[in-house]
Structure 1
Amino acid sequence: MAGPGGFGLRDDAAVVSLRPDEDLVVTVDALVEGVHFFPDDPPEAIAVKALGVNLSDLAAKAAEPTGFLLALALHDRHPAEWLARFAEGLRAAAEMHGCPLLGGDTVRTPGPLTLSITAFGTVPRGRMLPRTGAQPGDLIYVSGTIGDAALGLTLRLNDDPPALGSILRAGMQAEDLAHLGDRYLRPRPRLALRGALRDHAHAGMDVSDGLVGDLRKMLRVARVGGSIDTARIPLSAAAQHAVAIDRRAFETAVTGGDDYEILATVAPDHALLFERAAAEAGERVTRIGQVLAGSDEVLFHDLSGSSLTFDRGSFQHF
């Protein structure tokens, strides 16, 4: 699993070599048992999520993965078999995405399992895609589908009827339940989009804390607003079935976290080029709105043009 700069994991440091025309992109995310994953989640899936959320950040910056560092705090409840399965899941994910392990640290903790990954990527000099670059008139795009992971989490929660999770578990088909559950466990970092983003987008970030809240964050830091057609927000067949059973599932889908899809703004004269480049990369992107000048407010409306508001915007740690 070790990359060439990791010295076979026999040293306490690693070397990342850069060409003169490259910039290094660095991102870090921590996952805590009971907050970001369940104690009984498969160790392979925990490994995939830990690396995937960092790779999603690199994808949003249009960066090519170079390698990662892992800090892992284990408690005594994790036997050797658990650790072996975790390591295998991490190895498979690292090989799939071309992002080798360069080193890290493992410690014992009396508290919940905690792990942190610091991932490195490269972009051509001066070409990292910033969160702050949205411009008035840009079209707003999102990759993949929204809300699957949030609905998957809702299905995992122990709630009592008539709460949403109970209603969905009772009304949905097994294949839809499995799809939503897997999307919660295993993010799909959209690394294949990095070329399309680098060539055509003004701004980018990944959707980790909910589409509604993350849209507001991205446009606020650029000091612009936006108009979003909620009917255009892409939902999977499983999420559509959930919304048909209980309309509350739509708000969960657009405000819940763990999508790890990419938000991007693209100038109108680059829109077709961006869509074509994404399709050639095998990724789906959907235009959901437009950037507006004069305000940092994001307006959401339905098919009739009526404004929509949401009780929550995004996941908050504090």
Structure 2
Amino acid sequence: MENSLAPEFQFIRNYIKRLAGKGALDLTDDAALLSVDPAYELVLTADAMVENVHFFTSDPVDFIAQKLLRCNLSDLAGMGAEPVGYLLTVSLPKHCFNPKWFEQFTNGLAKDQKMFNISLLGGDTTYNPHNMVFSLTALGKVKKNKALRRNNAKVGDGIWVTGTIGDAALGLLALQNEINDVDDFLTQRYHLPQPRLGLQLTDIANAGMDISDGLIQDLGHLTRESQLGAIIFANQVPLSNQAKQLGSEYLETCLTGGDDYELMLTIPKEKEDQALIESQRTNIPLTKIGYCTDKRNSLICYDKDKNIMNFKQNGWSHI
């Protein structure tokens, strides 16, 4: 009897194997092997993306793959971790199991693997009769007892964010034809988040996380876990020029929309200069938008006229 490869293994050899890193053992076994440096802790995070929930069927296939990876890398960045590798599970309808689709998908991953110095460790492929479903688990490393957590913010810490806030939420509106996106900047920010890897802030910030469900909602998560409150100022929240041009009517969308994948950090005043030096070193903008208070479970956002803002909803809910 001829010992030929089953279709699944032929598929892995043709499309997936080129993404595999050292620990993946050439994808010839059912699990990967990693050597762990005793001076570090492993950081693990997982995200799932479902067709017509987290992305559109019409989205470019390479962008879908890149966004899936980048969302997880953003979680690692939020804890101050360095990427090590990732596991990927792909569940697809039959029409996606074709060479062109998988070439585009793996091209997107290969491009980002090179950019972020990460590789595939393993995963699984399955048939799904309905929607495309992806799940990715990323592994990172951080020096022992140095990971940034949500529960260590201190009263008086400044609240800082990277980059600009709200672009992805506006990009979604552009894709839904609710606003114009003349130069495709907002749409690109929705399709391709920028994980803020490389900032060395574990000895500078007291707490940190990435912003995925909306600035207001995620700040609520952080303050709740740290058992304190916060005051922020909407006019200090960094917005892109494209967001500013849309006017103040979209400010709430920027503050509560999801998919930013920027970082939120709390930094004590005496370490702010160090944080700004690190910002300059990495060319990743850092902006102070408020501070932590001792008023537990109180989150106040002031508008430019110093009025308290009230929101229809604080952010994205997964259920």
The TM-score normalised by the length of structure 1 is 0.92
User: What secondary structure, in the 3-state scheme, does the structure 1 residue paired with 2:232 have?
Assistant: strand
Separation in structure 1 between the aligned mates of residue 118 and residue 291 of structure 2, nearest angstrom: 34
| Contact kept in structure 2, 1:73 and 1:113, CA below 8 Å | yes
Separation in structure 2 between the aligned mates of residue 241 and residue 77 of structure 1, nearest angstrom: 41
User: What secondary structure, in the 3-state scheme, does the structure 1 residue paired with 2:198 have?
Assistant: helix
In the alignment, does 2:242 pair up with 1:223? no
Percent identity for Structure 1 against Structure 2 = 40
Residues 6-155 of structure 1: pairs in structure 2 closer than 5 A: 6-78=24-96, 79-155=98-174
Separation in structure 2 between the aligned mates of residue 147 and residue 102 of structure 1, nearest angstrom: 33
Q: What's the CA shift for 1:212?
A: 0.8
Separation in structure 1 between the aligned mates of residue 318 and residue 234 of structure 2, nearest angstrom: 26
Deviation readout 1:144-192 (Å, 9 max, x if unpaired) = 000000000011125xxxxxx1xx32xx6x21xx000000000100002
Q: What's the CA shift for 1:77?
A: 2.4
Q: What's the CA shift for 1:248?
A: 2.6
| Contact kept in structure 2, 1:192 and 1:283, CA below 8 Å | no
Gaps of 5+ in 1: 159-164
Partner of 2:244: 240
Paired residue type of 1:250: L
| Contact kept in structure 2, 1:227 and 1:291, CA below 8 Å | yes
Paired residue type of 2:257: G
Q: What's the CA shift for 1:18?
A: 1.1
User: What secondary structure, in the 3-state scheme, does the structure 2 residue paired with 1:34 have?
Assistant: coil
| Contact kept in structure 2, 1:211 and 1:254, CA below 8 Å | yes
The alignment of Structure 1 onto Structure 2 pairs a total of residues equal to 300
Paired residue type of 1:82: W
User: What secondary structure, in the 3-state scheme, does the structure 2 residue paired with 1:262 have?
Assistant: strand
Partner of 1:308: 309
Separation in structure 2 between the aligned mates of residue 258 and residue 218 of structure 1, nearest angstrom: 17
User: What secondary structure, in the 3-state scheme, does the structure 2 residue paired with 1:132 have?
Assistant: coil
| Contact kept in structure 2, 1:56 and 1:260, CA below 8 Å | yes
Separation in structure 1 between the aligned mates of residue 294 and residue 170 of structure 2, nearest angstrom: 33
| Contact kept in structure 2, 1:192 and 1:282, CA below 8 Å | no
User: What secondary structure, in the 3-state scheme, does the structure 2 residue paired with 1:280 have?
Assistant: helix
Deviation readout 1:196-254 (Å, 9 max, x if unpaired) = x21200111100010011111111111100000110000001111112xxx33111111
Paired residue type of 2:287: T
Partner of 1:283: 284
Q: What's the CA shift for 1:95?
A: 1.6
Separation in structure 2 between the aligned mates of residue 199 and residue 278 of structure 1, nearest angstrom: 14
Aligned with residue 203 of structure 1, among 187, 190, 207: 207
Runs of 4+ in 1 over 2 A off after TM superposition: none
Separation in structure 1 between the aligned mates of residue 30 and residue 193 of structure 2, nearest angstrom: 30
User: What secondary structure, in the 3-state scheme, does the structure 2 residue paired with 1:131 have?
Assistant: coil
Paired residue type of 2:66: V
In the alignment, does 2:22 pair up with 1:4? yes
Q: What's the CA shift for 1:317?
A: 2.0
User: What secondary structure, in the 3-state scheme, does the structure 2 residue paired with 1:146 have?
Assistant: coil
RMSD: 1.0
Paired residue type of 1:61: M
The TM-score normalised by the length of structure 2 is 0.92
Aligned with residue 190 of structure 1, among 187, 196, 212: 196
